[in-house]
């Protein structure tokens, strides 16, 4: 499903702004290969997230984007979301899970197995595919 960029909340960023030099050029040339992997939480989750996240790290994150009391939190694809903003996208494809663990599992699978390149590797539902 496609979601508006301003309805998504980043939960991680890379201090080296790799989205700018790595992801943006590939998205510009080849488009979006995989959807963002997200999960949904009540807006109140953000206060828990803030308590367990390093203050310096929090300074790098944009504020959350609640919609109707809910947050769509990006687990897999923070670079792609930032690149999409840079490229002028207004919406982006997302898989939104009910549980954070499911977003983690699918993120690990796509990162480590890259099914577009390796279509015969099965999805095993593991947190870590290494």
In the prediction, which pLDDT does 122 show?
A: 87
- Of the CA atoms within 13 Å of residue 50, those in its CB half-sphere come to 9
Distance (Å, rounded) from C-alpha 20 to C-alpha 27? 10
Prediction pTM value: 0.90
Distances in Å between the alpha carbon of 63 and those of 8, 46, 60, 70, 83? 10, 10, 9, 14, 18
In the prediction, which pLDDT does 128 show?
A: 81
**The architecture CATH gives domain 2-113:** Alpha-Beta Complex (3.90)
In the prediction, which pLDDT does 124 show?
A: 86
Cα–Cα nearest to 94, from 32, 2, 19, 30: 2
- How do the pLDDT tens digits run along the chain, 130 residues long? 899 999 999 999 888 889 999 999 999 999 999 999 999 999 999 999 999 998 888 999 999 999 999 999 999 999 999 999 999 999 999 999 999 999 999 999 998 899 999 999 888 888 887 6
In the prediction, which pLDDT does 83 show?
A: 96
Query: Domain locations in the chain?
Result: 2-113
71 contacts 41 by C-beta, under 8 angstroms: yes
Place of tokens 């687990």: 75
């Amino acid at each position: 499903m496609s979601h508006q960029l301003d309805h998504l909340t980043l939960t991680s960023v890379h201090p080296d702004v790799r989205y700018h030099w790595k992801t943006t050029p590939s998205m510009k040339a080849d488009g979006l290969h995989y959807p963002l992997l997200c999960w949904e939480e009540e807006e109140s989750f953000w206060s828990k997230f803030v308590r367990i996240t390093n203050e310096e790290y929090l300074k790098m994150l944009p504020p959350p984007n609640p919609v109707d009391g809910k947050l769509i939190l990006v687990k897999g694809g923070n670079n792609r979301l930032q690149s999409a903003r840079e490229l002028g996208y207004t919406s982006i494809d997302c898989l939104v899970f009910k549980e954070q663990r499911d977003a983690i599992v699918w993120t690990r699978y796509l990162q480590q197995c890259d099914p577009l390149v390796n279509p015969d590797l099965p999805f095993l539902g593991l947190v870590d595919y290494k």
